[in-house]
């Protein structure tokens, strides 16, 4: 397994480090710790500040200081993953957050990219919300966006990690189940498997709009059949986690997928929401790209969006 951890020293970035430390990554996982730092040699910077020898000298000194801080940051993070059977490397990149991360992901294909949802402000900014969203949109791998401090990280609070996994039976949802099972969740973790049935999609809405009792019964039958199929699918996924001695519960909900996922995450006080990047098409659609992005943007907790083509 190959994992990229993007760090910048911000609060959310530090929480991302702690989050990843709580997960037992498979032995011999390749962990690449990346830090992107501000560039002082961009043409826009040079043109705005001028090209006098004195300014160039000061820029060179500032660039060296920035590079030293970058090296110190990754050197501080790297030892935190020692002794875990991981192959840990560090990488520094100079430039803007999202473009540099995406370029690194192209050069170093990984299964999972991990980052905070917000970064530092000012000239040292890195993992702003827009950056994590761009990586979610354009990255070719699964992405874990860590938000806030999860309650299960606090040793003073005795409760296990709460994971909400939304599934619709699509290949991307199946990949989400596989990836989550591969990650070594804490033994105290509780996984809630959620399937959302859309009760007012194109088909059922048309049937109900006719006002005919026979077509209304047909629509109700379709919805019931979807619930039964969803429950069966969740029971199959439940066995995957029980084989790993994890507590896994199932839940079938009705409504709009994104809204139902967010409401359930709030209700169970989830620490992590896991979902596929895209779902099934037609009547069975659930985890469309717009849904995963809406959940990632508005979730009260961290979000893992899984792509099927991740390694």
- 55-59, 82-86, 138-142: range with lowest mean pLDDT: 55-59
Q: What are the start and end residues of each CATH 3.40.50.620 domain in the chain? A: 2-146, 151-306
Residue 48: per-residue pLDDT: 52
287 pLDDT higher than 50: no
What is the spatial distance between Cα 112 and Cα 34, in angstroms, rounded to a whole number?
A: 13
* CATH 3.50.30.30 matches 2-146: no
- At 184 the three-state DSSP class reads strand
Bridge partners of residue 4, in order along the sequence: 32, 113
Q: What is the pLDDT of residue 79?
A: 95
Query: pLDDT per residue over 211-241, tens digit each?
Result: 788 777 887 777 788 888 889 999 999 999 9
Note the pLDDT of residue 149.
Answer: 67
Q: Report the b/e string of 98-137 with b at 16+ CB within 10 A.
A: bebbbebbeeeebbbbbbbbbbbeeeebbbbbebbbbbbb
Percent of the chain residues past pLDDT 90, beyond the cut: 41
Give mean pLDDT, residues 92-101: 88
Could you please state the CATH topology (level 3) that the domain comprising 151-306 is classified under.
Rossmann fold (3.40.50)
Claim: this prediction has a pTM higher than 0.75: yes
């Amino acid at each position: 397994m190959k994992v990229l951890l993007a760090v910048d020293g911000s609060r959310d970035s530090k929480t991302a480090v702690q989050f990843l430390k709580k997960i037992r990554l498979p032995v011999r996982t390749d962990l690449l710790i990346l830090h992107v730092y501000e560039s002082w040699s961009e043409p826009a910077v040079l043109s705005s500040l001028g090209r006098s020898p004195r300014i160039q000298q000061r820029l060179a000194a500032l660039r060296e200081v920035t590079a030293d801080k970058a090296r110190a940051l990754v050197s501080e993070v790297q030892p935190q993953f020692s002794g875990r059977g991981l192959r840990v490397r560090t990488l520094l990149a100079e430039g803007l957050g999202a473009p540099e991360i995406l370029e690194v992901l192209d050069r170093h294909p990984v299964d999972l990219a991990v980052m905070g949802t917000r970064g530092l402000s000012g000239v040292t900014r890195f993992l702003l919300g827009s950056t994590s969203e761009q990586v979610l949109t354009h990255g070719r791998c699964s992405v874990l966006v860590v938000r806030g401090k999860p309650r299960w990280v606090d040793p003073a609070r005795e409760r296990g990690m709460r994971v909400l996994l939304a599934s619709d039976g699509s290949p991307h949802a199946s990949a989400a189940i596989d990836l989550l099972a591969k990650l070594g969740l804490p033994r105290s973790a509780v996984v809630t498997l959620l399937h959302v049935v859309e009760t007012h999609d194109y088909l059922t809405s048309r049937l109900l709009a006719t006002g005919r009792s026979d077509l209304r019964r047909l629509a109700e039958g379709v919805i019931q059949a979807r619930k039964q199929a969803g429950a069966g699918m969740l029971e199959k996924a439940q066995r995957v986690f029980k084989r790993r001695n994890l507590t896994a519960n199932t839940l079938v909900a009705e409504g709009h997928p994104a809204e139902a996922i967010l409401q359930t995450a709030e209700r169970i006080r989830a620490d992590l929401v896991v979902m596929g990047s895209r779902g099934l098409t037609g009547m069975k659609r659930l985890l469309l790209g717009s849904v995963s992005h809406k959940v990632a943007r508005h979730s009260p907790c961290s979000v893992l969006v899984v792509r099927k083509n991740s390694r």
